[in-house]
Structure 1
Amino acid sequence: MDFVLRCEMPVDLLVVSELLGNEHKFSFEGREIVLKLSKRYFSSDDDEPDQEASKIARCVGWSKEPSGKRAVHISIEKLFLTVQVLDSDDIDVASEMVISEAKTSDLFWEKNTPQRFQEAGRKLSNIASRAFDYWCRVTRWKTGLSYFGLPLERHEAHPGWRYLASVDPLEYVASFNDTATIHVLPSVTVQEWEVIQESLQAGVQTSLWIDTFHESNRRLAAGDVRGAYLDAAVSAESFIRHKLMQSVAALPATETAIRKRIESWNMTDVLSRFDKISTLSSLDLSREQLANLRSVFDTRNAIMHGKHVDLKEAELKVMLKSVKALVDK
C-alpha cells in the first residue's frame, strides 16, 4: 500500500497519447516514488465518453485515419504520485484491507488510530510534496516548459466588479469583463519523457540558474515583471559565476585570494571582459546577447538600489532569450 498525492495542475500537462499510463520511478529521501499518468481520459468523440475522467485528462487533438479519428494529444489535469510506505511509518496495512472495498475502511481503522495516522500522514505528505516539486523542476529543465507545475494566474491586486456609472456609483450603466488568457504548452514527447526518467533515476538536481530562469518566465507570464527581472539576473549571474569558479578549480587550495576576488567580481566588469576570459568566450554569445545581459543586470541593480525603472514586458522577453542562450550551454 502506498501514500498517494493526487496533483491538480495549475497549467495542464500536454502529452502525446502514447504516454497515457506511463510512469516515472525514482528514489527520493530513501523512498520509492512513482509519478503516473492515468490511462483514463475524456473524449467527446468516443461512443461512450468516460465522463468521470473529464477532470483527470481530456483529448484535445485528433488525427484522421481510415478507421476514424485517433487521439493524438491529451491534456492532463491530474497526476498521481505515490510514496512508498515503510515499516517505520507505523501504519498497519495488510492485503485483506483492499480485497473488499466495502470493508477496506473498517479494517484499516481497526488496526490504526486517527492520531497515529495523522502523524505518519503529515510526514508522508511532506515527502510527497517535495518529491513532486523535484519532478516538476526536472520536467521544466528537460522540456523547457517554464510554466509547468507553477501557478500562472495574474493576481489582481484590487479585485472587484468594474463598471461604468453615471451619477450614483452604485448604479452601473455597463459592466466591464476583461478577456481571459489561456496558456497552452507544447506536448511532452516520448523522447522527453525518457530523458526525464534518466535524470530522475540518476538523482540529478536542477541548477539554480535553470530553476530561476523558468521562474522568471513564469513570473513574466503572471504579470510580475519586476520579479521576472530579478530572477533573470539571478539565473545569468549564478551561471556566469559557476563558469568562473570552474576556471580556477585546478588552482591549489591555498589560492584563496583569487577565488574570493572572482566570487565578488562585479558582473558589469565581468561582461565588459567577457571575450577575454576563455571560459566565458567559449560560450560564443553574440554582441546583441551580451548587450541584453548587461541590460538585465543594469535593471536589476537599479531596482535593488531603489531607483524608478520603467519595466517593459516586451523588452524582458527579448532579454530572456539571451539568458536562455547563456544558461542552456
Structure 2
Amino acid sequence: MRFGNTFTSVLSTTLLVCSAIGTAHAGQITVYSALESDEIATYIAAAKKALPDLQVNVLRLSTGDLAARMIAEASAPHADAVWGEALTNLLDPRIADQLAPVQGGNISGLPKQFKDPGGKWFAATGYMAALCVNTDALAAKKLPMPTSWEDLAKPVYKGNVVMPDPASSGTGYLQIAAILQGAGEDQGWKILKGLGANVAQFTSSGSQPCKLARTGEYAVGASFAFVAMQSIKAGFPVKMVIPSKYVGYELEGSGMLKTSKNQADTKRFLEWVASPEAAKVYQQYKEIVTTPGVKPTQEQIAEGLPVDVSKVLYPMDFTASAKMHDAVLRRFKTEVMH
C-alpha cells in the first residue's frame, strides 16, 4: 500500500490457521496484499471469527512490489485475490485485465464511487494526505503554522520539510497527483518546485516523514492522517494539519483474479472485506472507511480528523492518476528532486 517499494514481509499460514475440524466446508485461498503487516494480522483474526472454515494465506508486499509482481505473473497468476492495493495501481490495464467481476450484498452496498461499475474492484478503506507539524520545533525556529501546500512552498520553510519520494511511496504520489489535478498543470508544477526546494529529505516511505517530524528532526512531515493521529496518541508534540485544499487520498482496492480456482471461497472472503463487521475493525487503523454510516470516532476527531472526511478530500480522478503516473514521476525526479 503506502509505505514504499521495499519487500516487507510474508504473512502466510501462520496468520490464519484453519479450524476446520468438524466443519462441512473447508477451503483455502491465497491473497496478495499491500496493507501493513500489523493491520493484516488484526483483520485476519477478525475474519477467522466470521469464516472459521476458511484458511487465508497472505503475501504482503508494498504497493509498488505488489503491482510489479502481478504484472510479472500475468500469464500465470499465483493468487486468488488482491486485497488493499492502491487503486491507482489496480487501474493499470495490465492488472485490471486480470480481475474478474465479483458481486455480493456487502460489496453492492458500498457507495458507487468506491467500486467499479463492472464489479472488478471495490475499496473498503483508504488513506489521506496530512501534515505532521512538530509544534515545539516550529516554535523554536519561529516558523508560522502551515495550512496549505502553497505555504510549504514558501522560502521560510527551506530545510524544514520532509516528504515521501513519490516513486517509492503511494502516499508521496497521491500528494503530488492531487496538487497537479487541483491546481492545474502550470500552477501545480510551480507549487511542487517551490515545495521541492524546501525539502531536506525525500523518504522511501509515507510514514517516515511524520516519524522524523515528531522527534523534532524536522518541523514538518508531509505524510498521511493515520500516522499523524498515532503520533499524537503517543504523546509527541504533533499537530495534524489537513491542507486547506488539494487533499489527496488513495483508495485501497480489492478484487478476485479471474484465474482463481477457489472462486467461491474467494468471494466469501471479499464479501467479508466489504462487511460492516470488518469496517469496525478497520477504524483501528484507517481514516477512510467507505462502509455507509461509519463515522470518525470522537478520539479521531480530537486528534484532528474532520467530522466529515469526504468534505475535505479533493475529488481524485484515479484513472487520470494511473495514466499520468510514469510521466509525472520522471518530471518530478528531474525538476523537483534535482
Shorter-chain TM-score bucket reads: under 0.3
Bigger helix fraction:
1
TM-score for both structures, normalised by structure 2: 0.21
Relative contact order (C-alpha < 8 Å, sep 6+): which is higher? 2
Q: Higher Cα Rg: structure 1 or 2?
A: 1
